[in-house]
Amino acid sequence: MNFGPVSRQDSLQLKGYRHACHVMIYAPSDEKLFGKIPIRYAVLMQLRFDGRLGFPGGFVDPADGSLEEGLNREVGEELGAGLALAESDHMCTHACSTPPQKLVTHFYTKKLSLAELQDIERGAVTAREHGKEVMGLVRVPLYTLRDGIGGLPAFLSNSFVGNARCQLVDALRSLQLVREPWLQLAIKHSHR
Ligand SMILES: O=c1[nH]cnc2c1ncn2[C@H]1C[C@H](O)[C@@H](COP(=O)(O)OP(=O)(O)O)O1
């Protein structure tokens, strides 16, 4: 599927497209793996019912209200959390017209404290869709292990839904959660 960037506003004028909104929740972390490898940030994705990785969220209908109202509803169902995401949390929008589906994906990012993120992780197991559409939340490893594969390169080798992998890489880059040379190496060493 080929996704191209489009402005949030222009995307709402497109005819015959479905809209989906998803959010990347992240938090700074002082924790260290094995007491020495800095975790730096906890970044949340989820394992979906189809075995792919994606972000919390889902289809929204702009005719039913704002994109963010739809996103907050979807996130509530999947995480059981009232995040109150707003337009200011919007990061980017992409459109794809590859059959069978004309799809616009809107992507949001939300920075929380580690304690707030941990509350979401705990609450998610009691959310309505846990064990159904959502098999569980996962944290994205941002480091690369000494073998050059373990960590972010191996994570990026997973199967992602829609343009979720691009959304992840773009967010890690633009929020500067991973330094550019390490991000480039992780992409290069992932099996894609
Ligand atoms: O994280 C994602 N990033 C980009 N696109 C995604 C992501 N997750 C799903 N999708 C695509 C796949 C579908 O075409 C739509 C809506 O999917 P989903 O989240 O499964 O929607 P519902 O829960 O069924 O409302 O977006």
Look at ligand 1, atom 24, and give the residue with the nearest C-alpha.
58
Residues 130-145: what's their mean pLDDT? Answer: 96
3-141 under CATH 3.90.79.10, yes or no: yes
Phi, psi values for residue 133, rounded to 5° = -70, -25
Return the ligand 1 atom nearest residue 60 CA.
25
The residue contributing the CA closest to ligand 1 atom 22 is 58
98: pLDDT strictly greater than 90: no
Model pLDDT, residue 192:
64
Nearest in space to 103 (alpha carbons), one of 162, 17, 161: 17
Find the mean pLDDT for residues 124-143.
Answer: 95
Segments making up each domain of the chain, as ranges: 3-141
C-beta of 109 in contact with ligand 1 (< 6 A) = no
State the pTM of this model: 0.96
Average pLDDT of 69-84? 92
Predicted local distance difference test score (pLDDT) of residue 80: 86
Name 128's Cβ contacts closer than 8 Å, sequence gap at least 6: 77, 78, 80
